[in-house]
Structure 1
Amino acid sequence: MSSGTPRRPGRLRNRVLAGLTTLILPLTALVGLGASPAQAAGGATASYTRTQDWGSGFEGKWTVKNTGTTALNGWTLEWDFPSGTKVTSAWDADVTNSGDHWTAKNKSWAGSLAPGATVSFGFNGTGSGSPAGCKLNGGSCDGTTTPGDTPPTAPGTPTASAITDTSAKLSWGAASDDKGVKNYDVLRDGAKVATVTTTSYTDSSLKAGTDYSYTVQARDTADQTGPVSGAVKVRTTGGGGTDPGNPGTGGDKVKLGYFTEWGVYDRNYHVKNLETSGSAGKITHINYSFGNVTGGKCVMGDSYAATDKAYTADQSVDGVADTWDQPLRGNFNQLRKLKAKHPGLKVLWSFGGWTWSGGFTDAAKNPTAFAQSCKQLVEDPRWADVFDGIDIDWEYPNACGLSCDTSGPAALKNLASALRTTFGKDYLVTAAITADGSAGGKIDAADYAGASQSFDWYNVMTYDFFGAWAAQGPTAPHSPLTSYNGIPTAGFNSADAIAKLKAQGVPAAKLLLGIGFYGRGWTGVTQDAPGGTATGPAPGKYEQGIEDYKVLKTSCPATGTIAGTAYAHCGTQWWSYDTPATIKSKMAWAKSQNLGGAFFWEFSGDTSNGELVTAINDGLK
């Protein structure tokens, strides 16, 4: 996220994937989705269960047990899948195939089993078939598992009726099952709110003027759950006509914060911090950053942080610990829990950013294919309920950032149009854009007015105008609201950027003012006022020349203001950053300009009690 010279989000690191160790389970633990019988192999057995099913794929698990009286040294398991069913990835065993015949061999650390011991390995797959012809070490497998059963089908997509300020009635088509359907779980925004035996339910604990998403999941008489249904979106009536998801319609202002995927590592900042700081109740939207853009497609960024990282009870939003076998963990599951606590809070998946913007050049060559790849990823059944839209952070269309793009002035408009067509009207589609308001600058390089017809709003990156990449200065505030005498570059301020975008035809209600929750600074500075010389960037915890507000507010308190933002001179260091007071003045300015609201980069720079988020919320009321 950046404007003039962007703030780098930090290096991505390789992670050791936790949770993929050997699983020692008693045989009684093998009652699950689609458990199927196996046959005998003197002294050892193998049992299979289909542990998860999400419609387009499933998770399977094999367990090998030493039923003999001596140690089992090494094992090879074989089975056949019917045509159309296959393994796509596996863990804790080496799995290969020849056509529809599959073979799994123990890892070096999982081959020795004492009498009575068990070892399991798992895999993800596609198709609906069950294994047959099981062989263990060349002999037959001895079946002692639950008799064959299949999970229920997905119920029909719910329909909503009788919608009021506080309630909505849902109805859906029945699921089917070979043993019979026992009941249905009703999920609101991904969290279960009721279990019913009929095919309808009235949810009467809603808030007026609020958006909700409902799905339904069937449970059979063996207590197996099938795939979730399609989703129906419901907006309750009332609420004073506000619509924080659609700025410019007379609704509340958008108050959006970026949550960084990598913040769960060195920064130790997690989704739960949004709840404990009180910030979650003062915002309307979260942009989850970043997904990657490569090969003309949207792809996952750090999958471990996003979907696999296990949270203990004390780290989790709702105080419930993750289990090893749940289908979704990590940030995505925590965001799902946060949305359950805050109905109406919307989450968008942001793709690109400073480091990964180079991929948009290929994406612009085939906008339709790019948009389809993004929708497929956002709507993955494991986390489809988490996201309400997509944000693209292209730095910069037809201009230079970390790399230079020459896609042409129409590239952003074409990409935006493809995204809107593919995602449809029920999803938010937004973009983070440059705030370079200089003559012939980055705003002039692309058709932002044309693209705005497809976007719900722009996050205008009105920060990072100046910083210690100019090591000798002059010192200048990195987020000036207005111009001032001595500003190093004309047009590098919020007011000029907003004015230029409006003049080009972008509606004011589709522009959000950006706030940085950090400061930029120099060292070797003797002058208190802006415009002084320096010897280099000031020290920062994660990057030279940059530091979080929560640190600067006490380490180098503000000594003055210039152009609507604060600056601080302490010793030989000179910093600029926004404070609660300057943020409130900026919010007043945003309202005077009829802007759609404000956004900020990013949550972890705020204090533990969220004082900057509070300032944004209070200033936009």
Structure 2
Amino acid sequence: MPRPGGRRAIALAGAATLTAATALLTAPPASSAGTVTATCKKGSDWGTGFDGSCTITNGTGSAVNGWRLEADMPSGTSVGNVWDATKTVSGNHYTFTNAGWNGTIAPGASVGFGFGGSGSGWFANCTVNGASCDGTGTPGGDTEAPAAPSGLRSTGKTATSVTLAWNASTDNVGVTGYDVYNGGAKAASTTGTGATVGGLSAKTAYTFIVKARDAAGNTSPASASVAVTTDEGGSGGGDKIVGYFVDWGVYQRNYHVKNIETSGSAGKLTHINYAFGNVQGGKCTVGDSYADYERAYTADQSVDGAGDTWDQPLRGSFNQLRKLKKLHPGLKVLWSFGGWTWSGGFGQAAQNPAAFAESCYDLVEDPRWADVFDGIDIDWEYPNACGLTCDTSGPNALKNVLSALRSTFGSNNLVTAAITADASDGGKMDATDYAGASQYVDWLNPMTYDYFGAWAAQGPTAPHSPLTSYPGIPQAGFNSAETIAKLKAKGVPASKLLLGIGFYGRGWTGVTQSEPGGAATGPAPGTFEAGIEDYKVLKGKCPATGTVGGTAYAKCGGEWWSYDTPSTIGGKMAFAKDQGLGGAFFWELTGDTANGELIGAMRGGLG
């Protein structure tokens, strides 16, 4: 998925020699009562650089919706990293506008932003919303309203929410935000060109408009309206719960098939995806023979308490899965091929889909373990688009591969595929014919997680698996509701879609802001990889402190994490039912607690 750039990285070198700098404005004068004012000051100054902050205070009797601070810097001085605001530069003139979450200032309240700079100078000619920062004078004559937003449209809906998008407005100075109205009532405010309006009733018609505003408080005419009827509520959906079991989990993570049983998860699962087989030379191949079918299990490690013998024909996780299926006769197991690291082989496989499908069938149905597997899962990241590598296989490649697999595996075996969740305009979902591919599968697993993470090392912080959009989200189309809506709009049946859940969190370090959108200095430390950690660790290490977009986030010390909890999973399962989806899936079993908290929430939510 596209990954947004970072924002903040300040090294406070020579801290012992730092001297306090004078403020641009120490306090608003008495004449500023009833106005919006700004106070900007340096926090530290080490001669060749500094860090600073600005506080905008609403001294009026009504809320301020959007702010814009402008100032000039002398030659040789510049502002670099900025957090909690958006910066634009023209020569030596700097403009800072509010972020998505701090544009509204209640009467008497204040908000702020920070920055780092180089050089020894400081702000001059400071204005806020067109008037002097110290509250004197009048706004700088900006009485021209922005143009009305155009192209208002619905990009997704549920029984209780509608997601909207529109084209950006123009203004003689600059647009600072948009207000969405549901009928005559303001329903949402945002700095972007999209918003989700929640709290709606099922199967009900609503009419929406949007207006733009600028820093001087001018409001545009209303856009053309759009009428949307929410989906029917309580329609229900499927009860599939598909969990990934990773073959490498038997090493450092010390997670084995027996853990699926002892955690109580086996009884809640309908399917297991065994990950991963490799794709090489146009064929399906074994990923890890030792973990898959060679490793010997002792009696205490085995699902049924019987240890492996040296001469038995099948050992390893495959044999343990066979034993697990005997305890749970309704449980199905699919062998997943590809994944992030091994998707590069699908391009060659797509050149001869029939030969590829035949190789996969021969491997999955190998007589040594044919009874273990009930079908095949394809995890191609991403067809005709870029993942770890890029391919130009064409928009029909996935459809052709899945058609060949269905023909070869027949109707008595399952064929499924994990797919992109990138619903942005022109994104990965638009590069492949997913609707055409869906006719050959039992279901698709859109990977509705990893939308955001510390690959953008300096932030902004954002939840990696938002259910819905929210004001200030870094990328439009990066949330589960819009993903499902776009796939359905393309023609994929809801019953063939499963909602993806991550049993882990993604996090940053060097974060000072509790809410999403803060700057960072890099990925937070993780047990096995920086920037990622299992739920079972995070629930104790960094308990959730808030929710946004239908998922949880946590601030602990300088670390900021986002992850799903049993509560937010409950909300996501309600969404899956309202949408009539086939169920849900998750990545992956080792992230859950020893008693299966998260899978329990999934089963409880789907019924």
Question: What TM-score bracket applies, with the shorter chain setting the length?
Answer: 0.5 to 0.7
Partner of 2:489: 503
> In structure 2, what is the Cα distance between the partners aligned to 1:251 and 1:271?
29
Task: Could you list the structure 1 runs, at least 4 aligned residues long, displaced by more than 3 angstroms after superposition.
Answer: 249-252
Partner of 1:358: 344
Deviations 1:175-206 (A, max 9, x none): xxxxxxxxxxxxxxxxxxxxxxxxxxxxxxxx
> In structure 1, what is the Cα distance between the partners aligned to 2:354 and 2:442?
19
* Among candidates 444, 460, 469, match of residue 455 of structure 2: 469
Q: How does 1:206-605 map to 2 (within 5 A)?
A: 252-605=238-591
- Confirm or deny: 8 A CA contact 1:263 1:270 kept in the other structure: yes
Q: How does 1:28-67 map to 2 (within 5 A)?
A: none
Following superposition, the deviation at residue 491 of structure 1 comes to 0.3
- Confirm or deny: 8 A CA contact 1:559 1:569 kept in the other structure: yes
Aligned Cα RMSD in Å? Answer: 1.2
> In structure 2, what is the Cα distance between the partners aligned to 1:314 and 1:532?
47
Deviations 1:184-241 (A, max 9, x none): xxxxxxxxxxxxxxxxxxxxxxxxxxxxxxxxxxxxxxxxxxxxxxxxxxxxxxxxxx
Q: How does 1:3-152 map to 2 (within 5 A)?
A: none
Deviations 1:26-73 (A, max 9, x none): xxxxxxxxxxxxxxxxxxxxxxxxxxxxxxxxxxxxxxxxxxxxxxxx
- Confirm or deny: 8 A CA contact 1:565 1:578 kept in the other structure: yes
Scaled by the length of structure 2, the TM-score of the pair is 0.61
Following superposition, the deviation at residue 304 of structure 1 comes to 0.5
> In structure 2, what is the Cα distance between the partners aligned to 1:280 and 1:447?
34
Q: What secondary structure, in the 3-state scheme, does the structure 1 residue paired with 2:477 have?
A: coil
> In structure 2, what is the Cα distance between the partners aligned to 1:440 and 1:347?
35
Following superposition, the deviation at residue 250 of structure 1 comes to 9.4
- Confirm or deny: 8 A CA contact 2:236 2:578 kept in the other structure: no
> In structure 1, what is the Cα distance between the partners aligned to 2:388 and 2:326?
38
Deviations 1:260-310 (A, max 9, x none): 000000000000000000000001000000000010000000001000000
Q: What secondary structure, in the 3-state scheme, does the structure 1 residue paired with 2:520 have?
A: coil
> In structure 1, what is the Cα distance between the partners aligned to 2:539 and 2:237?
33
> In structure 1, what is the Cα distance between the partners aligned to 2:384 and 2:456?
24
Q: Aligned pair count? A: 376
Following superposition, the deviation at residue 253 of structure 1 comes to 1.4
Scaled by the length of structure 1, the TM-score of the pair is 0.60
Aligned residue type for 2:374 = D
Q: What secondary structure, in the 3-state scheme, does the structure 2 residue paired with 1:540 have?
A: coil
> In structure 1, what is the Cα distance between the partners aligned to 2:322 and 2:237?
25
Deviations 1:380-433 (A, max 9, x none): 000000000000000000000000010000001100100000000000000000
Percent of aligned pairs sharing the same letter: 77
> In structure 2, what is the Cα distance between the partners aligned to 1:254 and 1:363?
29
> In structure 1, what is the Cα distance between the partners aligned to 2:330 and 2:367?
21
Aligned residue type for 1:280 = A
Query: Structure 1 residues 518 and 250 mapped into 2: Cα distance closer, same or farther (>3 Å)?
Result: closer
Gaps of 5+ in 1: 6-248
Q: What secondary structure, in the 3-state scheme, does the structure 2 residue paired with 1:520 have?
A: strand
Partner of 2:592: 606
> In structure 1, what is the Cα distance between the partners aligned to 2:567 and 2:457?
29
- Confirm or deny: 8 A CA contact 1:291 1:349 kept in the other structure: yes
Following superposition, the deviation at residue 567 of structure 1 comes to 0.1
Following superposition, the deviation at residue 550 of structure 1 comes to 0.2
> In structure 2, what is the Cα distance between the partners aligned to 1:344 and 1:523?
44
Aligned residue type for 1:293 = V
> In structure 1, what is the Cα distance between the partners aligned to 2:539 and 2:391?
38
> In structure 2, what is the Cα distance between the partners aligned to 1:516 and 1:482?
15
Aligned residue type for 1:263 = G
Q: What secondary structure, in the 3-state scheme, does the structure 2 residue paired with 1:350 have?
A: strand
